[in-house]
Each structure stands twice: as C-alpha cells, then as structure tokens.
Structure 1
Amino acid sequence: MSLHPTLAAVTDRIIERSKPTRRKYLDLMADEKDRGISRPRLSCGNFAHGFAASGEDKAAISTFNGPNIGIVTAYNDMLSAHQPYGRFPEQMKIFAREVGATAQVAGGVPAMCDGVTQGQAGMDLSLFSRDVIAMSTAVALSHGMFDAAALLGICDKIVPGLLIGALRFGHLPMLLVPGGPMPSGLPNKEKQRVRQLYAEGKVSKDELLRAESRSYHSPGTCTFYGTANSNQMMMELMGLHIPNAAFINPGTPLRQALTRAAVHRLADLAKSGERPLAQVVDEKAIVNAMAGLLATGGSTNHTIHLPAIARAAGIIIDWQDFEELSGAVPLLARVYPNGAKDVNDFQDAGGMAFVTYTLGREGLIHMDTVTAGAESMDDWVGNPELHGDELIWKPAEESADVDMLRPATEPFLADGGMRLVKGNLGRAVFKTSAVDSDRWLIEAPARCFSDQDAVLEAFKAGELDRDVTVIVRFQGPRANGMPELHKLTPTLGVLQDRGHRVALVTDGRMSGASGKVPAAIHVSPEALPDGPLARVRDGDIIRLDANTGTLEAVGVDLASRPAANSPPPPVGTGRELFALMRVTSNEAEQGASAMLAAMEIEQA
C-alpha cells in the first residue's frame, strides 16, 4: 500500500525542517562511536572499577568475551507498574549468558507515580522528573562499559525521560523492556461513577477508597489508556520493543519469554553493530508514534513528550504536524477513558498487532522504518504466543471486538481526535476523541482561577452552576512545573451532566484521562510571566471551537490589559529544588523541558 499523501507530506516537511539539527545530532553520534568512551578505551584503573563486583561475569567482561548490556532501571515497589522490574536484572543476566553476553545494572532512575501525587504538591515535580530521568540515564550510561542498553520503564515521564537520555548515547543499540498491565479490576465506568458521586457528596471517602482499590489492585500498569499505556503503544510503532510485548500481563511465562527475547536481541545487535538507537529513532519513527497516538486516542501528554523526544534526536515537530496527521489518521480504538473497556480488552481484540496491520495496509504508518526489536515493521502485525519454550507471533488481521477496535476502513471517527486551537489566547491542544461532537464548540463566560483547589471550592459554593469556561492559569512549566489537573475532571463532569455548557482552558495538563469535558490544554504561551491567558478577566466571553480551531476571548483587547498577579513560586515537598528548571523551561509545544532548552542554546 502506498503512503497516504498527508503522512508523506508531513514527514517530508519534518525532514526538511530538521535537516540542520538532525545532521548535527547524527554527526555527534558518529563521533561518539568513533572516539567516545567505551570499554576498550578505558584505562586499566577505570576498567577494573567497572567489573570489580561482577561475580561470575567478571572474567567475561574483563576479557571482552561477548557484548556487555547495560540495564537502566526505573524499579521501585511503590509504583505498581514498576514493581515487577525488581527481579528483571537477575533474570536478564541469565538470559545474556545464554547467548555469550553479560549484563550489568548501569544505574537507576527515579520513577514517580502520578496516580499517587495527583492533586497533591508532589505533582508539581512530575513533568520535570522527566528531565531528571533523562540526566540520570546519561549518568548511568556515561561509564562507557556497555555495548548495548536495556531500558526498564513504563509510566508517564519515565519512558520519555529514559529515551531522551538514551538518545545521547544513540550510537548504541537499545530496547525498552516493558513489564505489562495489571489484570482488569473494577470496570472503569463504575470507578468513574463513584468518583462523580463522591464529588457530589453522595458517597463517603471510605466507599471511594474501596472503589479505587478494586481498580488499582495488583502489580502492573494501570489499565486505563493514559500516558503510561500510550508510551507502550509508541515504543511499539517506533520499533523499540520486541514486537507486541507491551500489553502482556506481568508474572506470566509469556512475559518472561519476551524479556528473554529482548536480551537475546540486544546481544545480537551489539555483536553486529547494527541498528543503533540514533538510526531507529528517525523522522519516520516519530511520525509513526504520532499516527499511533491519534489512531488509538492516546494521551495528550505526548503532544509535549514527543516534541521533546524528537528534539533529543535532532528532529523538530510541532502541533500543526499533529493536527494535519489527525485529519488523515482515523480513530480505531475506544479504550477507557475514550470507551468502556481497558487495555487488556484492547489486547484481546488484537491490540497493537491489529493496529499496525490496519494502519500499514492503508498507508497510515511507515512500514519501511529501521527497527531494533525485529527485522522490519512487518514483524509487528502478529501477537506473541508461547508454545512450549518457543515464541511465535500469530497474525492479527481482524479485530476480535469491533466495539473496541476497528479497521482503518471502518473507524469510529474519520479524524484522529486531536486538534490545534489558536487565537488571541495562544495555541492549545483539544482532544476531541473523548468529547461528544455537540460539545466541540463552547462559548461561555470566563471564571478565572490560579489553583485547581479554588475551582473545587467555587463548585461547592454553587458559583459554577451555570454555563462557564473555567480558566485555570499559572499552571505552566515556568509557573509551577505544569501539573496535571485531574481533580477537576469529576467536578466539571458533574456540571456538564447538569446540562451546562462547560469548558476548561488551562496552561496545565490533563493527560489521557481528561474525559468528556471539552478542554483546551497546554495553552502556549503560558500565563507566566504575561501570556494572554494572564489577561483574561471574569466574565470575558471565551470561544473554544474544535471545528474551526479557535481559542479566543471574544471582542477583548487583551494587549491593553495588565497581566494578573501570579501566585508565589511553589515551595515544600522539594519543589524549590526545581526552581532552575521552572525558570529555564521552554514552551509546551517545544517539549516543556529546561534541559533541552539549555542544550539547544549551548549548541546554537
């Protein structure tokens, strides 16, 4: 199947736009391969430190008897998705020995849980934890002891952070090694129902906790289709997993077999010197990730993370690219919060194997990309099964549940469900795939807040029981680290269910769980120091229209007004330690990264 013309045009534009920065990146990686730090270039003292505690692998590492794989792990046993990683390193060392290789834990990276910190002060650290993870990955790999690397991470900022850091070592082959989602618990619609009842004061906190505990109940990734599972989708379509390893439950023989296959594959790549990360993460791989995000209704957080990942590889993308692709890539999946069923149901229906197959047949992803996890993207059109000790991939050319997953020729929506809205308030993202089309246009008076808790207080006081555009500003990366504002979702949903025309406009984030309320998020420029959003006043009529791509304060001369006073910088819970990142961060459309902003200035 020939490539869809929109996909081809967007890819060509990204390639042309990125030529100077991509060339500079690839030259750096070539130089790192030729002259960078590696085992043969270490002094004897350096090298001895590197294998001193390697036990039975000590002789093999010290005599260069086979490749040495560095493991960068985001393990902790508080985060359910990462708890299974606790035993992975010892297993991976055994798997490496099977093929004449060795493995060492190169280092650990922090892994915070947005589910735990949601609505709390710790959420202000969440986005910039991605920069910390990237830098920690670089520290881990800087020792030069490794011929390849395995990246162990799943959740929201962790996969982007690992990948951004790893791309600084893109002369090495690398794979991400997933852990899989927890089995399904309390149905998501029931969890949502209890949350809304609690927001209305109709159920107790104990009842709410019981519902939440039945939903998030065991090791593994949360089963709704938010940022963590969108990460896994993207790694598949970028060729950075063993094919379709993403959504296999932890603690199963198949899960372990896929981890074993990843180690064996990395050993092969290290021996051959083929398919280094810099070659795999190219313009086509980035476009595949964007197309997959749109096709599956994935997290809006990736309109921040993908630009950051791309920039780390010298590739420049923007929200206009997302919107144009959205016009061509149809919505194929209805995974909660965009539907009733979860990622386990998605996998049972055919999962990423079917998504790859149907998008590939319609020319909606690049099937000719270089991959690390297999020989070509054609290997991603089957789901893995374990037959005895043998891994095989069963073709998934039909959906087993068309209420969950449909072919590209018969989609849920012809549009990928992500729009760029812009006007005198700036540029923002609107995720249409979760919102009924009769709510894509909201025109209502503004009510301005600088804190999500103030929104909840106004709701409880009955001040929002009307048509309203809720403005939550000073939530961008420079103001407070750009936290997610999930506490607002049940409350705004209640107002909408009462029949009101409600919208949210914010320079903060809402992720893949933003739900059914129309929202313009990641507004750029952000309110701090004096973005247009800071000049809106209560009562201004705000027009948010996903049909026309409009975000504006109607009939208002914003430039003539002073900016509203911003809240003081956040302190406590370690937030003051991130002050430098807040001050130096770039805009959301560029990736909302202090580290990448500083790197680009230095390299200019």
Structure 2
Amino acid sequence: MQSNTSFTIDPKIDAITKRIIERSRDSRKAYLANMENARKQGPHRGVLSCGNLAHGFAACSNNEKADLTGLTKANVGIISSYNDMLSAHQPYQQYPDIIKQAVADVGSVAQFAGGVPAMCDGVTQGQPGMDLSLMSRDVIAMSTAVGLSHNMFDGALMLGICDKIVPGLLLAALTFGHLPTVFIPAGPMPSGMPNKEKARIRQLFAQGKIGRDELLDAESKSYHSAGTCTFYGTANSNQLIVEVMGLHLPGASFVNPGTELRDALTKAAAKQVTRLTDLSGNYMPIAHIVDEKSIVNGIVALLATGGSTNHTMHLVAIARAAGIIINWDDFNDLSAAVPLIARVYPNGHADINHFHAAGGMAYLIRELLHAGLLHDDVNTICGKGLARYTQEPYLEGGELVWKEGAAVSGDNEVLATVKAPFKSDGGTKLLKGNLGRAIIKTSALRPGKSVIQANAMVFESQHELQQAFEAGRLDRDVIAVVRYQGPKACGMPELHKLTPPLGVVQDKGYDVALVTDGRMSGASGKVPAAIHVTPEALDGGLIAKIKDGDLLRIDAESGELTLLVDEQELAKRSVSLPNLASNYVGMGRDIFGAVRTKLTGAEQGACSLFDN
C-alpha cells in the first residue's frame, strides 16, 4: 500500500532535518557511493570461485545448491541473537526453521549466517559483567559483519530485540547497506506484576523493610515468561524506533511471543525481504531506507513516548554508520518541538502491553503524521510512505491481513493526542555549563523537581553511594556525583541500582539529584539525573574536580548544569585519579582494554567502530 495522503511537515521539524542533511552532506554522499559500488558487483555469489561457492552451500540440499548456482533466486542471511537464558531472545530458537520454510515457499533460500552475543542489563546490573554491556554493542556489530562477510547473500534478516543488540545489528546492517534488510522482533512477555508495585517493593527492600525472599518473589512475578521486559526501557524503545524507521512490518513490534499472529508476522517478514533484493526488480536496500528523515522520525517517536536515554548515544552511532551526523542539540531541539503523548512505565503506570492495547504503534504514528511531526516521504520495507504504518496486523481465517489501526486512543491515561498531550515537550533536555554537556530525562519528574541546587556528595562507584545510603549519610538535600563511570573509565555501565536509594531519600522530602558520566537509560525516572556527562572524568572533564560540599545546580528548565565554585579555586585543584584496576580484571573485562580505550565520548555515540 502506497501513501495516498499528503502530510505537511512541521516547520521546526523540517528546519532541524534540513540542518542535519546539510551537516551530513559530504559524509552521506560518500556512504551512498560506497553502497552503490558494493551493489554493482551484482549478486555476490557470482564473484565467488567454484571452491568458494562449494564451501558456501556444502550443507544445502541439492535443490538449494541448484538455486544458488543459478543466481536467479535470492539467498537470505539470518543473523540471530538467540540464547535461552534471556527471556527476550529465547523465542528466537525456532525462528530460523520458520524463516527457511517461508523463504522456500516463495522459491528462495535462507541460510543461518551467524549468531551474535546478547547480554542483559537486568541480569548484570550492579555486577562486574555490566562493564561489558555498552561495549557489547560494538562486538555485536562486528560479529554481524563477520556473518555477512561471506559474499553469499542478497538480503538479510536481523533477529534481535534488547538493549545493545538492535543498535549493534543496525550498525552492521548499515555497513552492508547495499543489502535489503528486515528486522524481526520477538515481542514482549505478557503483563505480570504492575510496574508501580514492583518499584514500591524495591524501595521497601532498599529501606530494609522486607527481605530478599519477598523481593525475589516480586521480581519473579514481574519477569515471568519468554519475551521482552514489559517496562518501556531500551529494549522496547528499540522496537518502537525500528518500526517508525520502516524496518519492521507494520504493527510487528509488540505482539506477544508464542502466538499465531507472532509466527505469521515472522513468516511474512521472511518473505518480504526476498521482494526487496536486486533480483526482484523492486530493489530497496537498507541504505535507502535509513536516511536523515528516517533518523529524525526515530528520534521524534522516541521523544513523543518518553523512551530510553540510551538512544542519545545509540542513534548517534547508528546515524554515523549511515553517513549521517547528529548531536545532542538535535535531540534537544526536537524535544522542544515534540509533545509527550504516551505514558508507559517509568513515565506512567502502564506497561508496553497496555500501550499496544490502547492503540500502540498505529495510533502513535497516525497521530504524529497528522500533526506534521513525522516525515511521511520515506522509504520503508513495505514501500514508499510511512502512512502504511498506521495499519495493524490481524489473522482472518488463518491469513495475515492489515487493517487501519486505532484513530482514537483506547486509554487516555496511556495515549494522548498532540493537541492535548501529557507534556508540551518530549522530556529530553540538553544540559550545558562549566561541567560540560549532559542529558536529563524530564518526562517522569515530579512537579517542582526540575531545578535542584544543593551540595555535592562525591562517589566513585554506585556501591559507595549504596554504602552511604545504608549509613544514613544521604538524608539531606544532596546532589550525588557518581564519576569515573564513563566509556573510557569502565565501559559506561548502567547505574540502575542508584534509583531505589535516591528515590527513598527523595520520598523523605529532600531535594535530591544525580550527576554522573555513567548511564541510567530507560529506567531513569522520578529523580532528576544529569547523565552521560561529557567530557567524562577520565577524559579531562571538570566532574573530576568536584569535592564534597561543592554547590551544584541542575536546571532542567533553562538547561543549566553548573558547578558553583570560583574559577580560581577550580584552577588550583588537582585531580586525584582513583584506582580503577578492579574495573579491568575479571568477568571478561581483561580482554576489552583495547575497545574501552577507543570508545568515543557519549555525545559521539560511545563507539569504537569509527575513526574520530
């Protein structure tokens, strides 16, 4: 279905898009030239020697060998993040067989090209393994590149869903941008314990009012089956962004695993990629889908729903892989132009299943398109025009069909309208000042908590802060500074464990905030948090010179992040580098030294894959 409706883009969105296009002119041109050069080599099996090709299809059936030798039928490479420890990725176990049969049904071939690692921040939070989390994105990208490097494929299918996996797959897919590529999600687990109740129990545990048995029981009722976690963190932000960028089938993101509709969407996605190859006459590579307008659409949708702040890094790196240059000014200015029209935990009480039931992606895209906040004139895996994504999938008589999605919200507490939003802005703000640049997520802040001025208490790990909390030292107006958590220092781990203790202190009536060069991601909520501070402490950032008792100011309204200490005093201060040796040994961290030291700053994507 082609878009038959004309949408007028909002002048503010248009102006930001145009400046990104202009800023990226040379790099985007060079990228597209590289992708066209790769395409001109033709079906890549045609350049392989007989020995090369024999190795490439040695395990195939005789019919498949004949198809691949003839160079008239597509060969689709499958990249999967399957493992059966992580709930979000466990459903992918059966996908390759489903995909291979679906592709065979339309006369083509699919081969499993490679697996990529998939780690979970939920398992590793507060543990040494978390130090590998952000770096795993680049490992996933490199692993995907290895899988696609055999010159055997006309298209690709990417099976990934969670925090670093989808960004890593996207980075690699754009490196092979001449290939048509479709992303296939697995969907969220059914709803369990309400997120508000889960948060309440976590705080009770932090206060010592319940024991570990009660906490584990609550967590197990929250994370209880196969599928993605149901809160709106980075994993579900990934799915929303990928769909708005036209890389999923319409309405595919939030269908639960293990359902007939989920399997039907997987089969349809597998068939769709064969229709986009250079052999089909309808060539549509991912390089022609992910452009400046597509990137802006992804950011707009993220902001309109209060999604994960991790994407202030991931989308920067993803755009860079496509020759597009974006920065935090773009996020800030788009946030000012885009209202918040979704409330999903931690920005509200609903989970992602409630969002889906209230109208989900079809409603969201329709509302933003009609308000001129999304570009309709983009390519997608389903053709030209994002309006196709205002439809949602159904099964009728066992057949997959699409119908127009909800035009009216099914729950006004979960999905609002652009004219009557939950907030007039997208809830992501750029902070600037003598401490550098940082991001703050304001969409979940309580009234009166946008401006915090208080004395600093300095920590060099989240564990030190936890100890101070347990000793009662945080019971005051305080801005906690947790530093040496940036990319070069220790790989920039998530700091999830900071949320419960700081939330407890805030609930006691104190003014509380956080300043860190680390990450808080989609789980950041009611406590004001200036995160991703750059330059980081290990890279010469002023955050390294803060002392206990220094006065700090965070103003999420004006965009200020200031250390209120005289410049002459700061000039006298030296930096005492803590002993970080324990961050570099054990749990695999020993072998990531070269990656860690090459990581760029947070605003440059915290990425090791590109030359600075």
Q: TM-score range by the shorter chain?
A: over 0.9
Structure 2 residue 27 is the aligned partner of structure 1 residue 13: no
1:385 paired with 2:394, answer yes
Name the SS for the 1:433 alignment partner: coil
Shift in Å, 1:273:
4.9
Shift of 1:435: 0.7
2:427 alignment partner AA: G
Residue equivalent to 1:525: 535
Per-residue CA shift, 1:54-98, capped at 9, x if unaligned?
235333223334101100000000110010000000110000011
Match of residue 244, structure 1, among 251, 257, 271:
251
Per the TM alignment, residue 531 of structure 1 is displaced from its structure 2 partner at its CA by 1.0
Q: Contact 1:65–1:100 (CA<8 Å) still a contact in 2?
A: no
Instruction: Work out the CA distance in 2 between the residues paired with 1:41 and 1:92.
Output: 26
Q: What secondary structure, in the 3-state scheme, does the structure 1 residue paired with 2:276 have? A: helix
Question: Cα 1:314–1:430, aligned 2, differ >3 Å: closer, same or farther?
Answer: same
Structure 1 window deviating more from structure 2 (578-587 vs 304-313): it is 578-587
Aligned 8 A contact 1:244 1:383 in 2? yes
- The 1:274/1:437 distance shift into structure 2, 3 A limit, reads farther
User: Would you say 1:580 and 2:594 are equivalent positions?
Assistant: yes
Letter in 1 for 2:240: M
* 2:131–2:491 CA contact under 8 A, matched in 1: yes
Q: Does 1:293 align with 2:302?
A: yes
| One of 565, 572, 577 as aligned partner of 2:577 | 565
1:313 pairs with 2:316? no
Check whether the contact 1:540–1:556 (CA below 8 A) recurs between aligned residues.
Answer: no
Q: Distance in 1 between matches of 2:65 and 2:566?
A: 70
1:79 to 81, 86, 111: 86
The offset of 1:577, in angstroms, is: 1.0
Matches within 5 A, 1:89-104: 89-104=96-111
Residues 300 and 334, structure 2, Cα contact 8 Å, conserved in 1: yes
Structure 2 gaps of 5+ residues are 1-6
On the 8 A contact 1:37/1:143 being kept in 2, the answer is: no
Greater than 4 Å deviation, 4+ residue runs:
none
Give the TM-score, by structure 2 length.
0.96
Secondary structure at 2:40 match in 1: helix
For 1:563 and 1:544, how far apart are their aligned partners in 2?
23
Whether contact under 8 Å (1:297, 1:338) holds in the other structure is yes
Q: 2-side partners of 1:35 and 1:369: how far apart?
A: 26
Secondary structure, aligned partner of 1:542: strand
Residue deviations 1:272-319 (CA, integer Å, cap 9, x gap): 252111110100000000000100000000000000000011100000
CA distance in 2, matches of 1:422, 1:255: 44
CA distance in 2, matches of 1:287, 1:135: 25
Give the C-alpha shift of residue 376 in structure 1: 2.5
Partner Cα separation in structure 2 for residue 468 and residue 162 of structure 1: 40
Map residues 146-225 of structure 1 onto 2, 5 A cutoff: 146-225=153-232
Match of residue 449, structure 1, among 456, 459, 466: 459
2:227 and 2:68 map into 1 onto residues whose CA distance is 33
Amino acid at match of 1:513: A
User: SS in structure 2 opposite 1:434?
Assistant: coil
Other-structure match for 2:409: 399
Instruction: Give the % identical residues.
Output: 58
User: 2: distance between equivalents of 1:320 and 1:566?
Assistant: 32
Per the alignment, residue 365 of structure 2 pairs with 356
Structure 1 match to 2:4: none
Match of 2:498 among 449, 463, 488: 488
Give how far 1:37 is off.
8.0
Deviation at 1:264, TM superposition (A): 1.2
Where does residue 366 of structure 1 map in the other structure? 375
User: Corresponding residue for 1:283?
Assistant: 292
- After TM superposition, the structure 1 = structure 2 runs for residues 27-38 of structure 1, keeping only pairs within 5 Å, are 27-35=33-41, 38=44
Question: Which residue pairs with 1:341 in the alignment?
Answer: 350
Asked whether 1:425 is paired with 2:431, we answer no
Deviation per residue, 1:333-391 (Å, 9 max, x gap): 00011110100000000001101000000100101111114442111002211111322
Task: Note the alpha carbon deviations across 1:505-562, whole angstroms, 9 max, x for none.
Answer: 0000001011210000000000003211001111000000001100011133234321
CA distance in structure 1 between the partners assigned to 2:504 and 2:64 by the alignment: 59
Q: Is 1:553 aligned to residue 567 of structure 2?
A: no
Encode CA deviations 1:77-127: one digit per residue, 9 max, x unaligned. 011001000000011000001111110001011000111001100000000
Distance in 2 separating the partners of 1:227 and 1:414: 23
Query: Could you tell me how far apart the structure 1 residues matched to 2:511 and 2:436 are?
Result: 22
Does residue 1:46 correspond to 2:55, yes or no? no
Does structure 2 retain, via aligned residues, the 8 Å contact 1:7–1:364? yes
Question: Any conservation in 2 of the 1:337–1:513 contact (CA below 8 Å)?
Answer: yes
Q: Could you tell me which amino acid in structure 2 is paired with residue 138 of structure 1?
A: A
Q: Distance in 2 between matches of 1:227 and 1:295?
A: 15
Contact 2:438 2:531 in 1 (8 A): yes
Return the alpha-carbon distance in structure 2 between the equivalents of residues 394 and 560 of structure 1: 67
Verify the 8 A CA contact 2:382 2:388 in the aligned structure 1. Answer: no
Q: What is the root-mean-square deviation in Å for CA atoms of aligned residues?
A: 1.1
Farther-moved stretch of structure 1 (60-69 vs 14-23): 60-69
User: What is the alpha-carbon distance in structure 2 between the residues aligned to residue 170 and residue 504 of structure 1?
Assistant: 40
Is the 8 Å Cα contact of residues 420 and 549 (structure 1) preserved in structure 2? yes
Return the match for 2:67 from 60, 65, 69.
60
Q: State the number of aligned residues.
A: 598
The 8 Å contact of residues 377 and 384 in structure 2, kept in 1 or not, is answered as no
> CA deviation digits over 1:164-213, x for unaligned, max 9?
01111100100100000000001111111110000000011011000000
Post-superposition offset of 1:437: 3.4
- AA aligned to 1:253 is E
What CA distance in whole angstroms lies between the structure 2 residues aligned with 1:224 and 1:488?
Answer: 18
Match 1:470 to one of 453, 464, 480? 480
Structure 1 runs not aligned, ≥5 long:
none
